[in-house]
Amino acid sequence: MATFLRNDKLVVAWFTESIPLPFGPHEGGLPGLILEVNYAGTGNIVTATKMEKTARQIVRPDKGKLVSWKEFYAYLEKNKRPTFTLTVR
């Protein structure tokens, strides 16, 4: 669990280090996938309710540019898009 302030409101994020990806609903940068975010005092809670493993094959690229982690994360931040579907309850 991680807590922080956003726009002067307490935010509680629940994440799992079992899935070491710094992504999740609305917030990122924690040491694992964020599975729930509770915006205290607003009544808004975002929860991951379903995750599916796909049979997508990862293919090693044969061309491209080698980049640092810093450049990679800057690229991800610039080109953000959802990678899973969330249900808001």
User: What DSSP string runs through 6-35?
Assistant: ETTEEEEEEEETTS--S--SS---SSSEEE
Residue 73 three-state SS: helix
Task: Name the DSSP class of 70.
Answer: H
Q: 26-35: long-range contacts at Cβ-Cβ below 8 A with a sequence spacing of 24 or more?
A: 30/2
Domains of the chain: which residue ranges?
2-88
- Report yes or no on whether pTM surpasses 0.95: no
> What average pLDDT does the segment 10-23 reach?
87
The whole-number pLDDT of residue 36 equals 92
- List pLDDT tens digits, range 21-67: 878 765 567 888 899 999 888 888 989 888 888 888 888 888 988 89
The whole-number pLDDT of residue 61 equals 84
Tokens coding 6:
């956003």
The whole-number pLDDT of residue 80 equals 75
